[in-house]
A and B are shown apart, each in its own frame.
Chain A
Amino acid sequence: MKTVLKSRETTSILIILLTVKMLFTYPRYLIERCLNGAWLSVMVYSILALAIFFVTQLVYLKTGRTTIITQAEAIGGKILRGIVGTLVITLMMINIAPMVRAFPEAIKTVLLQNAEMLVIVAILAIGTSIGAYLGIEALGRVAAIFLPLAAFFILAFFVLLAPHFKVTNLFPFSLFDVSIGNTSSFSLFSDILVLNFLLPYIGDMKTVRRSGILAIVISGITGTLIVLAYCLVYPYPSSARFIVPIYQLARMVKIGTYFQRLESVFEFVWSISIFIYCSLYLYIICDIFRKSFDLTDYKPLILPMLIILLRLVFWEESYTGALRSDFVASNILYPVMYILPLFIGLLYMAKQRRKI
Chain B
Amino acid sequence: MKKALILAICGVILSGCTRSVEPNDLAYVVAIGIDTADKPELYDFTLQIANPQAISGGSNQEGGEGGKETVSNLTITAPNIYSAVNIANHIYSKNVSLAHTKLIVVCEEIARTEGLAGLGETIARNEEIRPNTYLSVVKKEAKDYLKEIKPTNEVNPVKYYEVIYESEYSGFIPKNPCRDFYIRSLSPESENVLPLSAKVEEKEEIGTQNNEYGGFEYMTEDYIAGNIKTKGDIKTQTLGMAIFKDDKMIAEAGGVETELYNMLTVKYDRSEITYLYKNTPDLAISVAQTQRKRPKLDVDITSDVPKINVGIYLEADLRTVSQNYIIEQEQDNFEQQVTEEVESALLKFLDKTARTYQSDIVGFGSYIKKNFKSYDEFEAYKWQEKYPTAEFNVSVDFHLRRSGLINRKRG
Task: State which of A166, A168, A171, A251 has its C-beta within 8 Å of the C-beta of B131.
Answer: A251
Q: Which residues of A contact B326 (CB under 8 A)?
A: none
A183 interface hit (Cβ, 8 Å): no
Q: State whether A235 and B12 are in contact (beta carbons under 8 Å apart), knowing that A169-B366, A172-B378 are contacts in the complex.
A: no
A93 to B366, CA, bound (A): 42
Residue on B nearest A175 in the bound complex, by CB: B373
Q: Which residues of B contact A112 (CB under 8 A)?
A: 19
Contact assessment for B370 and A237 in the assembled complex, using a CB-CB cutoff below 8 Å: no
Q: Which residues of A contact B375 (CB under 8 A)?
A: 35-36, 172-174, 236
A320 interface hit (Cβ, 8 Å): no
Contact assessment for B18 and A115 in the assembled complex, using a CB-CB cutoff below 8 Å: yes
In residues 1-53 of chain B, which contact A (Cβ within 8 Å)? 5, 8, 11-12, 15, 18-19, 21
Contact assessment for A235 and B372 in the assembled complex, using a CB-CB cutoff below 8 Å: no
B187 interface hit (Cβ, 8 Å): yes
- When each residue 79-120 of chain A gets 1 if its CB lies under 8 Å from chain B and 0 otherwise, what string results? 000000000000000000000000000000110111110010
Task: State which of A114, A174, A238, A252 has its C-beta within 8 Å of the C-beta of B373.
Answer: A174
Residue on A nearest B182 in the bound complex, by CB: A238
Contact assessment for A172 and B369 in the assembled complex, using a CB-CB cutoff below 8 Å: yes
Contact assessment for A252 and B189 in the assembled complex, using a CB-CB cutoff below 8 Å: no
Contact assessment for B374 and A252 in the assembled complex, using a CB-CB cutoff below 8 Å: no
Contact assessment for B21 and A126 in the assembled complex, using a CB-CB cutoff below 8 Å: no
A204 interface hit (Cβ, 8 Å): no
Q: State whether A235 and B187 are in contact (beta carbons under 8 Å apart), knowing that A115-B18, A119-B18 are contacts in the complex.
A: yes
Contact assessment for B12 and A127 in the assembled complex, using a CB-CB cutoff below 8 Å: yes
A109 to B187, CA, bound (A): 26
Interface size for chain B: under 10, 10 to 19, 20 to 34, or 35 or more residues?
20 to 34
A176 to B374, CA, bound (A): 9
Interface size for chain A: under 10, 10 to 19, 20 to 34, or 35 or more residues?
35 or more
A236 to B188, CA, bound (A): 10
Q: Which residues of B contact A119 (CB under 8 A)?
A: 15, 18
B162 interface hit (Cβ, 8 Å): yes
Q: State whether A234 and B183 are in contact (beta carbons under 8 Å apart), knowing that A123-B15, A166-B366 are contacts in the complex.
A: yes
Contact assessment for B373 and A123 in the assembled complex, using a CB-CB cutoff below 8 Å: no
Contact assessment for B162 and A237 in the assembled complex, using a CB-CB cutoff below 8 Å: no
B367 interface hit (Cβ, 8 Å): yes
Residue on B nearest A134 in the bound complex, by CB: B5
Q: State whether A126 and B8 are in contact (beta carbons under 8 Å apart), knowing that A172-B377, A177-B374, A235-B189 are contacts in the complex.
A: yes
- When each residue 112-139 of chain A gets 1 if its CB lies under 8 Å from chain B and 0 otherwise, what string results? 1111100100110011011000000000
Q: Which residues of B contact A166 (CB under 8 A)?
A: 366
A254 interface hit (Cβ, 8 Å): yes
Chain A: minimal CB distance from B78 (Å): 20
B80 interface hit (Cβ, 8 Å): no
Contact assessment for B131 and A252 in the assembled complex, using a CB-CB cutoff below 8 Å: yes
Contact assessment for B5 and A172 in the assembled complex, using a CB-CB cutoff below 8 Å: no
Chain A: minimal CB distance from B152 (Å): 19
Contact assessment for B374 and A237 in the assembled complex, using a CB-CB cutoff below 8 Å: no
Q: Which residues of A contact B373 (CB under 8 A)?
A: 172, 174
B202 interface hit (Cβ, 8 Å): no
Q: Which residues of B contact A171 (CB under 8 A)?
A: 369-370, 372
17 further interface pairs, Cβ-Cβ under 8 Å (given A122-B11, A172-B374, A172-B375): A112-B19, A114-B21, A116-B19, A123-B15, A168-B367, A171-B369, A171-B372, A173-B374, A174-B374, A176-B374, A238-B124, A238-B183, A251-B130, A251-B131, A252-B132, A257-B159, A257-B162
The 9 closest A-B pairs by CB, nearest first: A171-B369, A114-B19, A174-B374, A168-B366, A172-B372, A171-B370, A238-B183, A126-B8, A238-B186
Query: What are 16 pairs between A and B in contact, CB < 8 Å?
Result: A119-B18, A126-B11, A126-B12, A166-B366, A169-B366, A171-B369, A172-B370, A172-B374, A173-B375, A176-B374, A235-B189, A238-B124, A242-B124, A251-B131, A252-B131, A257-B159
